[in-house]
A and B are shown apart, each in its own frame.
Chain A
Amino acid sequence: NAGVMQNPRHLVRRRGQEARLRCSPMKGHSHVYWYRQLPEEGLKFMVYLQKENIIDESGMPKERFSAEFPKEGPSILRIQQVVRGDSAAYFCASSPPGRQGYEQYFGPGTRLTVT
């Protein structure tokens, strides 16, 4: 049973470019969460999605960031016009349906570097 998959594992972008991060949840999981972790800091919640729905985006910056979880395919976190401050590790987690507040299982993360 494959775990949560994220790609790419490392992404380098120049300032002003777009970054697209992908996350495939564990089989049978329908809840996806995105977190950001700056070096030497804790995990910060960004967004919680279910298929075709954004449930909670209270942690998302108001501009340049968007997320989706389409009916088919992986969840996508999109960062437009990246700046150096966006350099961080972005983790996706998933949990099974039917129980909010259930355990979350994390993918390996995408390390974004903005040059």
Chain B
Amino acid sequence: QKEVEQNSGPLSVPEGAIASLNCTYSDRGSQSFFWYRQYSGKSPELIMSIYSNGDKEDGRFTAQLNKASQYVSLLIRDSQPSDSATYLCAVNTNAGKSTFGDGTTLTVKP
């Protein structure tokens, strides 16, 4: 079992729809959770961080964390073609090192 697992994808949604990206992790001691967006040929860009159970909203993005289920998700409302990218889930146990999932590729079709 991988330490951080994401939907294998690719995920395709129409413009204006809600995109839902999921991530599970194996280390119950994990404290910090991050979502990064990576466009093809570019470096990862931090878009959301979440540290406690529940929802955290930032514009069209909502991160959801459920530590009991070891599950973190990212919802993108009103998806735009510019949201088309690979989304990486990262988990950190506060020991410094972040473990990344392999990413889910999202395509938003106009």
Contact = CB atoms under 8 A, between A and B. Distances in A.
Contacts, number: 59
Nearest to B46: A103
Contacts of A44: 100
Nearest to B100: A43
A48 B102 contact: no
Interface residues of B, number: 24
Contact of B94 (A31, A56, A101): A101
B43 interface: yes
Contacts of B96: 31, 33, 48, 55-56, 100-101
Given A42-B101, A45-B98, A102 B32 contact: yes
A105 B31 CA distance: 18
B103 A103 contact: no
Interface in A29-86: 31, 33, 35, 41-45, 48, 55-56, 58-59
Nearest to A92: B43
Interface of B: 31-32, 34, 36, 42-46, 49, 88, 90, 92-103
A107 interface: yes
A100 B88 contact: no
B43 A108 contact: yes
29 contacts: A31-B96, A33-B96, A33-B97, A33-B98, A35-B100, A42-B88, A43-B44, A43-B100, A44-B100, A45-B97, A45-B100, A48-B97, A56-B97, A58-B97, A100-B92, A100-B95, A100-B96, A101-B32, A101-B92, A101-B94, A103-B46, A104-B34, A105-B46, A106-B36, A106-B44, A106-B45, A106-B46, A107-B43, A108-B43
